[in-house]
Amino acid sequence: MPAHRSISENFADGIGQALRQHWDVPCFSDLDGGTLTCAGVARRVVRLHRFFDALGLEPGDRVGLVGRNSAQWAIVYLATVTRGAVIVPILPDFTAAEIEHIVRHSGCRALFLADAAADAVDCDKMPTVEAAARLRDYAPLHERDRRATAALAGLREPFGPDAAPLTAAELRLPLVGGDRLATIVYTSGTTGFSKGVMLTHKALMVNVRFFLDSVTLRPGDNIVSFLPLAHAFGCAFDFLAPFFAGCHVTFVEKIPTPKVLLAAFAQLKPVVVMSVPLIIEKIYRNRVKPQLESPNVQFMLKLPGLRAFVHRKIQGALYEAFGGRYRELVVGGAALNRDVEQFFRKVGFNLTCGYGMTECGPLISYSVSKDNPPVGSVGRVIPYLECRIAGATKPGDIGEVLVRGENRMLGYYQDDEATAAAIDPDGWLHTGDLGRFDADGFLYLTGRSKNMILTAAGQNIYPEEIESQLNNMPCVEESLVIERDGRLLALVYPDLESVDRACLRGGQVEVRMETNRQELNQRLPGYAQIARLKILYEEFEKTPTKKIKRRVYDAFAG
């Protein structure tokens, strides 16, 4: 791969430019709340800077932020990074003990907490915290001394032009070097306890710049932000990149079920939609597939002329379901079911898949839909990174994906051992993902290296590839393939809506799943066939980006 491109734009300066340039444009809204223009956001950023000054916060000091997507969350984030402090976004799905551990580990001096977290955590167990406030209204929760008390009192003063007069020309934000630490993101990994990923201002700017160069965003465009902002994917592309472009971002604080999201899309008509595969697959399974299976549609699909008509109708219905104005639907965070992707492409629905990880803030590869990336690929590597496949000598060879470049993390906070295990002496980040390049430079992923199963006869089995096929079979919501005593066991969580539509009762569900197992095995080589299938009637435990926590099921013996 060619050497990576460098970036010269300054992240903190770009935030100030975006605010000044779009001063009177609607900037942030909450789905169930009011709207702030860039001017309103800027005044709150300045107010937070005064709070940090009163607290004696130094550049590099950490500020913790716990909460679901909201305008207040975004404002605290912008204020922290433009002040030269380090933002520590913490997923609200973590337990109180996990939140307390992350705050202690990162050494946060200030802390903002959503209501649920504020009622759960014990500030006395976080001794580095000097001042804590509710995220919603800055109500004080904890103050160590008089200075903290005074700082919190100043933060609560009324907002508005009279209380904080400010014009676009008067807005001046500190310059912060691109190599400075901007954020410590504690991963919600599928295989172990959280580690603090250290990302620089430059790493964040790379993700923003690449997205703005790849996807058309205009001032005033609507964006619906529902992916967790404490995760790198949602933060970069549901929040930061649209903000830089002057878009109007509406935050969805509720749990983003398909029902909630489709209602938000219909109301706000976003121009770009970010999603994780689970939501796209649920929409396909519950809205599209039942129609495809009806006798009338099945008949029309057999006739070439009518088949094209059906595909156009489905494409139009999907387009309207996402608001009727979107230009790009980006899927990331996990692998999209290949059959689902293939169907969407066949009916002319613009959908593209990217690949990234928190350690790159997050982007590694992506190609926009107009470039027609092949089904199953995750696009081409972004120009700010170098990428190679370990041990590969030609296109098609499978090995671990290694990357290095402008947006690679500095390392794991206060964990030299984990950093050394992830980044080799030549600067290559070992992603832990297995992949291959085709002759045109498109990247394909085959699974996690830790998940690969090596049979006694030496064959490599990639469980994710089997799961992708099983997940597309009747009445299957999700699955997990693991090895037990040298044989493969499939754990399956049923699609309960499909079960109800099929009127399956009692043992009929087991019969349907056994039929699935037998039909799947006919497609698989002998060494990769499923020996046994076990139905689970509780959803798999997942990370906030909807990846199954595989480690939870490693010792499954049911």
The pairing of strands 328-331 and 352-353 is: parallel
Nearest to 27 by CA among 168, 158, 206, 149: 168
Tracing tokens 């992603």 back to the chain, one arrives at 431
Residue 557 has a pLDDT of 54
Pairwise CA distance, residues 218 & 326, whole Å: 12
Residue 42 has a pLDDT of 96
Residue 365 pLDDT greater than 80, yes or no: yes
Q: Torsions phi, psi of 456, nearest 5?
A: -60, -25
Burial class from Cβ neighbours inside 10 Å (0-12, 13-18, 19+) for residue 410 reads middle
Residue 69 pLDDT greater than 50, yes or no: yes
Higher pLDDT, 178 or 526: 178
Nearest to 283 by CA among 309, 314, 307, 310: 314
Specify whether the CB–CB gap between 537 and 178 falls below 8 A. Answer: no
pTM: 0.84
CA 109 to each of CA 127, 176, 197, 203, 407: distance values in angstroms, whole numbers, following the listed order? 9, 20, 19, 24, 27
% of the chain with per-residue pLDDT over 90: 59
The structural domains of the chain, ordered by start, are 11-256 (3.40.50.12780), 269-404+430-448 (3.40.50.12780), 453-553 (3.30.300.30)
The model's pLDDT over 419-451, given as tens digits with 9 standing for 90+, comes to 999 999 999 999 999 999 999 999 999 887 777
Q: At what angle do helices 463-470 and 507-523 cross, to 10 degrees?
A: 130
Residue 20 has a pLDDT of 97
User: Helix or strand or coil: residue 259?
Assistant: helix
The model's pLDDT over 229-276, given as tens digits with 9 standing for 90+, comes to 999 999 999 999 999 999 999 999 987 777 888 889 999 999 988 887
Pairwise CA distance, residues 133 & 140, whole Å: 4
User: Helix or strand or coil: residue 312?
Assistant: helix
Beta bridge partners of 88: 64
Q: What is the DSSP letter of 315?
A: H
The model's pLDDT over 186-223, given as tens digits with 9 standing for 90+, comes to 976 444 457 899 999 999 999 999 999 999 999 999 99
Residue 335 pLDDT greater than 80, yes or no: no
Specify whether the CB–CB gap between 345 and 368 falls below 8 A. Answer: no
Pairwise CA distance, residues 325 & 265, whole Å: 9
Residue 156 pLDDT greater than 80, yes or no: yes
Pairwise CA distance, residues 453 & 554, whole Å: 12
Q: Indicate the range of 355-364, 469-478, 497-506 predicted with least confidence.
A: 497-506
385-388: list long-range contacts, CB under 8 Å, 24+ apart: 385/4, 385/360, 386/1, 386/2, 386/3, 386/4, 387/1, 387/443, 388/1, 388/428
User: Phi-psi category of 376—alpha, beta or left, where left has phi over 0 and alpha has psi -120 to 50?
Assistant: left
Residue 38 pLDDT greater than 60, yes or no: yes
DSSP 134-180: ETTT--EEEESSHHHHHHHHHHTSPPSTTTS---TTT-------TTS
Highest mean pLDDT among 63-77, 183-197, 281-295, 338-352: 63-77
Residue 162 has a pLDDT of 43
Residue 158 has a pLDDT of 67
Residue 161 has a pLDDT of 47
Q: Which amino acid is at 524?
A: L
Distance of alpha carbon 464 from its chain centroid, rounded?
A: 19
Pairwise CA distance, residues 45 & 179, whole Å: 22
Going by pLDDT thresholds of 50, 70 and 90, the confidence category of residue 347 is confident
Write out the two tokens for 109: 């001096």
Continuous H helices in 68-141: 71-82, 96-106, 115-120
Rg for the chain, CA atoms, rounded: 24
CA neighbours within 13 Å on the CB side: how many for 495?
24
Highest mean pLDDT among 24-33, 72-81, 308-317, 342-351: 72-81
Specify whether the CB–CB gap between 46 and 170 falls below 8 A. Answer: no
Pairwise CA distance, residues 484 & 492, whole Å: 15
Q: Which amino acid is at 58?
A: E
User: Phi-psi category of 220—alpha, beta or left, where left has phi over 0 and alpha has psi -120 to 50?
Assistant: left
Pairwise CA distance, residues 297 & 44, whole Å: 54
CA 278 to each of CA 256, 316, 434: distance values in angstroms, whole numbers, following the listed order? 11, 21, 21
Going by pLDDT thresholds of 50, 70 and 90, the confidence category of residue 555 is low
The model's pLDDT over 366-424, given as tens digits with 9 standing for 90+, comes to 988 778 889 889 999 999 999 999 999 999 999 999 999 999 999 999 999 999 999 99
Higher pLDDT, 291 or 557: 291
Mean pLDDT of the residues in the chain: 89
Task: Give the torsion sign (CA, 516, 522, 523, 528).
Answer: positive
Specify whether the CB–CB gap between 328 and 352 falls below 8 A. Answer: yes
Mean pLDDT score, 349-377 = 89
How open is the CA angle 56-57-63, to the nearest 5 degrees?
140
Specify whether the CB–CB gap between 68 and 92 falls below 8 A. Answer: yes
The model's pLDDT over 464-498, given as tens digits with 9 standing for 90+, comes to 889 988 988 889 999 999 988 788 999 999 988 88
